[in-house]
Structure 1
Amino acid sequence: MLRSFRARLLAAALVVALIAIAVTAWVTNRTTSDDLAQQFEEDVFIEQTIYEEVSVFAITEPDWTDVDELLDELADEYDLRIALADLDGGIIADTDPDSDLPSAPVAFIDPANPLIDFAPESTDVITEIDLFNKESKDLGEFLTERGFEVVWFTDDFGFTFPVWNEDDPAANQAVEEWFESAGFFAFDELDEAVILEGFFDPVGFAEPALLYVDTGAESALSAVFSGRLLLAVLIVAGAAALVTVVVSRRLMQPITELTSAAQGLQSGNLSHRVEVDEGGEIGTLASAFNDMAASLEESDEVRRTMTADIAHELRTPLANIRGYLEAAKDGVVPSDEALVGTVYEEAVLLQHLVEDLETLTQADAGRLSMNMVPTQVGEILAQVVDAHHARTDGVHLEAVDDTEGVVVSVDPMRIRQAIGNFVDNALRHTPSGGSVTVAARSQNGSVLITVVDTGEGIAAEHLPHVFDRFYRADPSRTRSTGGSGLGMAIARHIVDAHGGTVSAASSPGQGTIITVALPTAG
């Protein structure tokens, strides 16, 4: 399997190139068809011409003795190879005796039945045929006038002969009389030499033979076609390779940068980013990588901060407990009820921190246990306010229920915990003389619970993080102003588990409003 992106790109380009080559070959084949047709016509004409020349030789000569000279002249004229073989395969003549004969002959030379059109171009020869046929017509008419039946026969050379019943002595006698009066075909008017040279040899014909002609057209056309196809293959393959190299370099540059950045992340450099200077899939990938790197960096920062916060939250009560115990051991402070009460309070703080961490862990894993029962909203508000009256420190705390007995399906203990965390946070940041109001009202099938305080408010840059774990707008980390930093995060998870939503609105010096929306039962 190809793992390299460049290799895959090259493979894809080669596939495209092969398709292009196939199309080019088809186009080349179509364009070559005209050349094939033209070459075929030329070959047929040459072979027909050679056949006619050799057939005339066979008709006018008693054998093939001097045919070599004719074949050499034709071979030189048409730049090809010509061979004659007898019917048993023996070579009669060959212009290239060192090569094997072609696989099949192009024609069968039969001097007695030549398959050619003997229409001589010479005016003198045509006149001689006419004279010959005129004498034949005179003989036929001579016999017809004397009552003899005559049948006319014309051979392949254009000569016409009268045929009579040679078994009739009277007809034969009449023919002899015509010969005596007219002479043998009027040789006194007919030039015997021209007729014998141009058309027939009274001595006889050459033997039948097989004519072989090797024009080399197939190999020439194959070379032309192969050359064109090879040229097309080279051009297409070269263009594909060039385009692949250029495109791959452009594509590989951002991918190389992404690879380097990913390796940087692997080695712990979470601040590495890649430049996004193009759109499309590569740009989207680079942006997604940068977002991922930013998220990892943020998560790592949160993890570091959370680890430091947990260590701090555990260290303070543990240090207090150890200090009190060491002081009691050394006799610096008395081991009385007051010391025990102080150590107990620090242990309770540790227990609450561990429980909060456990609750967040269960919420993150989706394993937060819930016991949903129908509950009136007014009861929840009253119980939360009653539980916090002892810690108001001069802050006016009240509950306002405008739901008129609306029932919600909730886990009463968990929802009291969430609303209680919001109230606890409000009381911590509201000075003496201020107020915290917990109110509820119905709206569009939901119940809205608000916790409104008149405290110091939250700056805009801190507002998006109020529900993050261990986040404090006040970095002092003191419990009097900052708490453990887990209450708001736990409350958000509890509301989410009930299918509700929670939001915060605040301005510095104007107080804060926490709004919880829960669906009504039924």
Structure 2
Amino acid sequence: MKKRTIRTQLIISFLVIATLIIGSLSLITLGLTNNHFSKYVNERQEDLLKQYVNTIDLLWENSNGAWNNEEISALSAKALENNFYFSIEDTQGKIVWQLQGKDLEIARSKLKRNAEKVSQKKSVELDETIEDKKKLVNDGREFGWVTFYYLGPYAYTEHDAMFISSMKQSLMYVAFSALVVSIILASWIATRLGLPLKHVSDFTHKLTRGEYAQKIPQETSIIEINSLIDSLNDLSNQLEKQDSLRKRLTTDISHELRTPLTTLKGNIEGMIDGVWKITPERLQSCYDEIDRLTRLIRNIELINKIETNYDHLKKTDVDLYKLVESVIENFTSKISEKNISVKIHGERPVVSADKDKMSQVLTNLLSNAIKFTQKEGRIDFSITSDKNNILLSIEDNGIGLEKDQQFHIFDRFYMADPSRSSSLGGQGIGLAIVKSIVEAHNGTIEVKSNLGLGTKFSIKLPSDSK
């Protein structure tokens, strides 16, 4: 298939449509004009013949039922001016008047010359001589017949042919002018549509090369193209953020792996070189670092399993209120240490869920809330339900998050405050696990936070998750 630019395709399509429309309208207009004008000429011819019939009736009546050849001859000469001639016969079929000999040849020659002039003016085809016989009646009494002879099918005059010719020429000029205007409009419209689409195409190629900084300005009045431009600009922003996040993710993973490995290497090298004695404390330090690495890898594997559905959920009927109580009880010492007030509000709905996985969700959320809530702070759990969903929220009055941090809080290895999170033992992976588990239950999780005022996580689970 031959490929074209969108500008070329638009111009060709527009011209094809314009040509079809203009051509069809021109043909229809020409056909209707010819048809109506033919009817008009035919009716005019019929009226003219009736006038001659009435004139012959009048001449016969004025001559007291006789025929005046001089008057009929004069009428015949006038008929030739109107491009026909006639003959008259009485009721017995006897010829009363007709052109003969040289006069007949002259009449036919004159009609032929006129026909040639008419044909030359514009394609009006005149056939062989037509005979039109009409009855002569006076005071209700038939007294003869008159036969008219002319070149048919219609008695076109030279002026009639000129009119038809002029109409056809005018239609051709109009059609040609419309086609020229169509070409100009097609080129203009194609440029208006094609140029921004070319910019869009160039911009997408830049995106494939990782050039996210540039943006496309809205330069058209077409809603669909502007919407496409906005979507691409949003995509560019998202790709830029994802690229930045990927680089940060690589750095964070490297850091999380490098720190325990460096510690392990230093301890083992020291013990090998005899600089440090092999003591239970140093062995425990090495074991802790290995355990840290193990937990990191295990958490990454857990997310991958949940997101790829390799880890099948073992669903049972779970009393969510009771589950929250048991998770809070596991943190009793840490809660008491910071003298934090932890309360549960709401209903006691039963949800079909994996109890262990949901326990991990609550554990991670409560652990984060305790870490980032000051002493004598508060943490509130709220459980509500409606016909279709069960809503669980956990809200604290801790340090909160900045607005841009809330967009990435569920990303792997993302830590809103890396230095503080690291000092608190965080790996920036707990909330990623939370989101994966909730989505595996066909639920959603959202976060709302104000810096310095606190954070609220809201989980929505379907009432029937089976």
For the criterion TM > 0.5, the same-fold answer is yes
Aligned equivalent of 2:30: 28
> For each residue in 1:37-71, what CA deviation from the matched residue of structure 2 results, as whole angstroms up to 9, or x when unmatched?
56666799659856559x9998655xx7x987776
Query: Percent identity of the aligned residues?
Result: 23
Q: 2:172 aligns with which of 212, 230, 239?
A: 230
Q: For 1:381 and 1:115, locate their aligned partners in 2 and report how far apart those are by CA, in whole Å.
A: 113
Aligned equivalent of 2:61: none
Aligned equivalent of 2:295: 352
In the alignment, is the contact (CA less than 8 A) between 1:499 and 1:518 conserved in 2? yes
Q: Say which SS state the counterpart of residue 272 (structure 1) adopts.
A: coil
Aligned equivalent of 2:189: 247
Root-mean-square deviation (Å): 4.4
Q: Say which SS state the counterpart of residue 283 (structure 2) adopts.
A: helix
In the alignment, is the contact (CA less than 8 A) between 2:83 and 2:150 conserved in 1? no
> For each residue in 1:399-435, what CA deviation from the matched residue of structure 2 results, as whole angstroms up to 9, or x when unmatched?
645668654332121111111111222233245x445
Offset, 1:224: 5.0
Q: 1:303 aligns with which of 246, 255, 259?
A: 246
The 1:22–1:56 alpha-carbon spacing in structure 2 relative to 1, beyond 3 Å, is: farther
Q: For 2:444 and 2:99, locate their aligned partners in 1 and report how far apart those are by CA, in whole Å.
A: 115
Aligned equivalent of 2:278: 335
1:21 partner letter: G
2:258 partner letter: R
Q: For 1:48 and 1:324, locate their aligned partners in 2 and report how far apart those are by CA, in whole Å.
A: 128
Aligned equivalent of 2:337: 394
Q: For 1:490 and 1:276, locate their aligned partners in 2 and report how far apart those are by CA, in whole Å.
A: 40
Q: When you count helix as a share of all residues, which structure comes out higher?
A: 2
Q: For 2:134 and 2:343, locate their aligned partners in 1 and report how far apart those are by CA, in whole Å.
A: 125
Q: For 1:398 and 1:352, locate their aligned partners in 2 and report how far apart those are by CA, in whole Å.
A: 30
Q: Say which SS state the counterpart of residue 374 (structure 1) adopts.
A: strand
Offset, 1:391: 5.7
In the alignment, is the contact (CA less than 8 A) between 2:382 and 2:393 conserved in 1? yes
Structure 2-normalised TM-score? 0.70
Q: Which has the larger radius of gyration?
A: 1
Structure 2 residue ranges without an equivalent (≥5):
50-78, 88-94, 118-124, 137-142
Q: 1:314 aligns with which of 257, 264, 288?
A: 257
1:458 partner letter: L
Structure 1-normalised TM-score? 0.63
2:211 partner letter: N
Q: How does 1:82-231 map to 2 (within 5 A)?
A: 105-106=128-129, 224=166, 226-231=168-173
Q: Say which SS state the counterpart of residue 274 (structure 1) adopts.
A: coil
In the alignment, is the contact (CA less than 8 A) between 1:434 and 1:454 conserved in 2? no
2:214 partner letter: H
Aligned length: 405
Offset, 1:488: 1.4
Offset, 1:449: 4.8
Q: For 1:441 and 1:30, locate their aligned partners in 2 and report how far apart those are by CA, in whole Å.
A: 79
Aligned equivalent of 2:319: 376
In the alignment, is the contact (CA less than 8 A) between 1:261 and 1:274 conserved in 2? yes
Q: For 1:58 and 1:505, locate their aligned partners in 2 and report how far apart those are by CA, in whole Å.
A: 112
The 1:51–1:491 alpha-carbon spacing in structure 2 relative to 1, beyond 3 Å, is: same
1:324 partner letter: N
The 1:390–1:416 alpha-carbon spacing in structure 2 relative to 1, beyond 3 Å, is: same
Aligned equivalent of 2:269: 326
Residue 257 (1) aligns with residue 199 (2): yes
1:339 partner letter: R
2:252 partner letter: D
The 1:388–1:317 alpha-carbon spacing in structure 2 relative to 1, beyond 3 Å, is: farther
Q: For 2:438 and 2:134, locate their aligned partners in 1 and report how far apart those are by CA, in whole Å.
A: 109
Q: For 1:230 and 1:156, locate their aligned partners in 2 and report how far apart those are by CA, in whole Å.
A: 46
1:260 partner letter: D
The 1:398–1:376 alpha-carbon spacing in structure 2 relative to 1, beyond 3 Å, is: farther
